[in-house]
Amino acid sequence: MRKKWWQDAVAYQIYPRSFQDSNGDGIGDIPGIISRLDELKELGIGIIWLSPVYKSPDADNGYDISDYCSIDPRYGTMRDMQKLFSEAKKRGIRIIMDLVINHTSDEHPWFRESLDPASEYRDYYIWQKPKGRDRNGRPIPPNNWTGFFMEPVWEYDENSGEYYLHLFHKKQPDLNYKNPQVIAEIKDILRFWLDKGAAGFRCDVINVLYKTSLEDGKKSLTVQGLEHYKSQEGNHEILKELRRDVLSDYNCFTVGETVMVDLPEAKLLCDESRGELDMLFYFDHLEIDRLIARFIPKKFNASKLLAVLAKWQQGLEWNAVYFENHDQSRIVSHFGAGGPKQDNKSADNWAVSAKSLGLLELTLKGTPFIYQGQEIGMTNFDFTDPEKLNDVESRNLDTLMKKMHIPAFLRWKWIKASSRDNARTPMQWNSGANAGFTTGIPWLGINSNYTRINYEGQKHSPDSILSFYKKIIKLRLESECLKKGDFIPLYADTHIMAYQRRLNNETYTMLINLSAKAQKLPPKLDNAAAGAVIVSAAGRTNLEGMLFAWEGALLKSGKAL
C-alpha cells in the first residue's frame, strides 16, 4: 500500500517569474523563492508545485522547454535548485516539478536535429506531407485541426517540404508518442528530477499526448480534431508505463492537468488499480459562467457551481482542488466581489468574498492547491492598454477577433475576463516600490492596488484574508473529516449553496452566499444551520437564519443531520 502523504497536505503553486525577484532584473527567481519559504511554512503549506524553471526561449513563459535537465539562468542555477529542495525539506515542504512533455521548444536540440529528414530525431516529432497543393501551388496542411492558441496547428518547413504539428504555439512542436524512443527519454527526465529530490510532478496537458490518428476533426468552435487525441487508449498506456517503470520506485505523486476532460475519462485516468495518475485538474467549475471554454463571460449561478462541484467530488475518489492557477482569472475577481459584474465599491466585500471562497476551497475533499497571491486576495490585472498584454494566448485571440471585425471594446472586455495575465502580475509583498517584488523593472505590470492589497499589510492583522487562510488551513490539516470525509450537497439557489462533509460521527456544514446582498437561509436548511459556527468569513458566531453579503460559514454538528 502506498502511503498517500499528499492527501494530508495543502499545496501551493509558485509561478516563479512573478513570485520574488532577488537580483533586480525584474524576473522572479529561485533564490527569491528560497527567501520566502518561511512565509509558506507559516501558511501551512506542505507541497509546492513549481511552474517551469527549465531552460526556455520563453515563447510561452517557460512552457516551451529547450533543456529539461537544466535551470534557466534567469531563475538561477542547479545549485540554487538543490538548495531550494533542501531548504524546503527542512521546513517540511515537498516540491513537485512541472512536467511539460506534450511538446518541447523548437529550440530543443531534439527538434533542431529533427529538422533534418535523415536524422534519427526526425521521428521524435509529428512530421507530415502536405495534403496536396492549392491552385496557386501552395501546400495544403495535412488536416483541419485547430489549436489551443488560436493559431494554425501545422507549420510548414520549406526545407523538407513537410509540416510539423503544434497544438499550442508554433515554437512548441508536439512530440511523437508513437515513438518508444521518446518515452524512453521522458523516463530519464523523470528519474533525473526524482533523484534530485522532486516529490512528484504536475503533468501539463497530460491527456493529449497520444495522437491516435491524424484524420480531419469534426467541426467545432473550440479545439477541432480533439477526438483524435484526447484521453486515448495510447495515452493511458503511456501513463501506466511511466508509473510502472519509474514513478513506482519513488515515494511521489502525480497530478495531471487534463484539458477538456469529462468525468468518465477522469475516472479511468485516476482509477488507482490502473496505476496512471494520482489526481487531476479539471476545468468545469471555472467554466460555469463562461462560453467557449473560458473566453466569453456569462451569468453566474451558485446552483450550477454546486452541481459541478458535487459531480466531481462524488465522482472521483480523490480530487485536485483549485480555484486559481497561472492560466485563470483571480477567484475574487471571478466568483467574488472583486469582479467587473460585482460591487467593487466596498473593501469589506472584497475581503469577505476572498475569505469565503478560500473557505469553500479548503472545505472540499481532495488536495487543495492555492495559487500565489490567492491567500491575500489578489485581483485581476488593472492595466488598460492592450499593448501591455504579455500572454500569447490573449494576443492571438485579439488578432483573431480583429479579423472577425469584433469591436475593440468587446475584444478588450473578453480579454480582460479570460487573459492569463490576470494571474501573472507580480506577487504583492508590501506597499513599497514595486510591491517588494523587485528593485528593478517588473517583467509584467504590478496591479496598482498593491498599496492596499499586500502580504506585509495582512501579516499582522488578525482579521486579514491571510490570517483567515492560515486559520482554515490549520483547521483542515487537523481534521480527517475536512480532508477525507464524504461530500454531500444540501441546497443551492441562484445565490447561496450548502453542503456537508461527513466522516464517522463527525459532520461539518458549509454555507456560502455568493452574492452582494444578504440572503435568508431557506427553512430547508434549519437543521443543518443549527450547528455551532466554527468560522465565518464575516466574523460572526451566530447566523440568525441568514448570511451576510458574500459570507461563507463553516458549522459543526455532532451527528449527521
Query: What does the block give as the cell for 379?
Result: 485581483
What is the bridge-based pairing of β-strands 546-547 and 519-520?
antiparallel
Question: For the window 368-397, what string marks contact with ligand ISL as x by the rule CB under 6 A?
Answer: -------------------------x----
Q: Which of residues 67-106 bind ligand ISL (CB under 6 A)?
A: 100
The verdict on 281 binding ligand ISL (CB under 6 A) reads no
Min separation Cβ 257 and ligand ISL, Å = 6
Q: At what angle do helices 302-315 and 263-270 cross, to 10 degrees?
A: 30
* Position with the least CB separation from ligand ISL: 63
The verdict on 465 binding ligand ISL (CB under 6 A) reads no
Min separation Cβ 446 and Ca ion, Å = 15
Residues 350-355: contacts with CB under 8 Å, at least 24 apart: 350/377, 350/379, 351/377, 351/464, 351/465, 352/537, 352/538, 352/548, 352/549, 352/550, 352/551, 353/514, 353/537, 353/550, 354/465, 355/465, 355/468, 355/469, 355/537, 355/552
With residues binned 3-state (H G I as helix, E B as strand, rest as coil), the percentages for the chain, rounded to 5, are 35, 20, 45
Nearer Cβ to Ca ion (7/35): 35
The verdict on 11 binding Ca ion (CB under 5 A) reads no
The verdict on 60 binding ligand ISL (CB under 6 A) reads yes
One of 9, 10, 14, 27 touching Ca ion (CB under 5 A)? 27
From ligand ISL, Ca ion, none, interface partner of 21 (C-beta below 5 to 8 A by class): Ca ion
From Ca ion, ligand ISL, none, interface partner of 148 (C-beta below 5 to 8 A by class): ligand ISL
From ligand ISL, Ca ion, none, interface partner of 25 (C-beta below 5 to 8 A by class): Ca ion
Cβ-based burial of 214 (10 A; exposed 0-12, middle 13-18, buried ≥19) = middle
The verdict on 209 binding ligand ISL (CB under 6 A) reads no
Q: Which letter does DSSP use for residue 447 in this model?
A: P
Contact 195, 89 (CB under 8 A): no
Q: Cα–Cα distance between 81 and 338 in angstroms, integer?
A: 36
Q: Which letter does DSSP use for residue 145 in this model?
A: -
Q: Cα–Cα distance between 327 and 422 in angstroms, integer?
A: 8
The verdict on 204 binding ligand ISL (CB under 6 A) reads yes
Continuous H helices in 435-477: 455-459, 465-477
The verdict on 551 binding Ca ion (CB under 5 A) reads no
Min separation Cβ 25 and Ca ion, Å = 4
Min separation Cβ 358 and ligand ISL, Å = 22
Which position among 204, 265, 391, 551 bears the catalytic label?
A: 204
- What is the gyration radius of the CA atoms in the chain, in angstroms? 24
Q: Report helix, strand or coil for 194.
A: helix
Which position among 257, 361, 391, 393 bears the catalytic label?
A: 257
The closest alpha carbon to 380, from 337, 440, 345, 411, belongs to 337
* Position with the least CB separation from Ca ion: 29
**How many CB atoms are closer than 10 A to CB 301?**
17
Cβ-based burial of 100 (10 A; exposed 0-12, middle 13-18, buried ≥19) = buried
Q: Cα–Cα distance between 200 and 95 in angstroms, integer?
A: 7
Select from 23-31, 63-71, 256-264, 338-346 the region that touches Ca ion (CB under 5 A): 23-31
One of 7, 23, 35, 160 touching Ca ion (CB under 5 A)? 23
Query: Who contacts 50 (Cβ-Cβ below 8 Å, separation ≥6)?
Result: 14, 16, 33, 95, 96, 97, 98
Is 204 part of the annotated catalytic residue set?
Answer: yes
Question: For the window 132-171, what string marks contact with ligand ISL as x by the rule CB under 6 A?
Answer: ----------------x-------------------x---
The verdict on 29 binding Ca ion (CB under 5 A) reads yes
Nearer Cβ to ligand ISL (226/549): 226
Min separation Cβ 368 and ligand ISL, Å = 18
The verdict on 324 binding Ca ion (CB under 5 A) reads no
Min separation Cβ 29 and ligand ISL, Å = 19
From ligand ISL, Ca ion, none, interface partner of 27 (C-beta below 5 to 8 A by class): Ca ion
Residues that bind Ca ion (CB under 5 A): 21, 23, 25, 27, 29
Please identify every residue annotated as catalytic. 204, 257
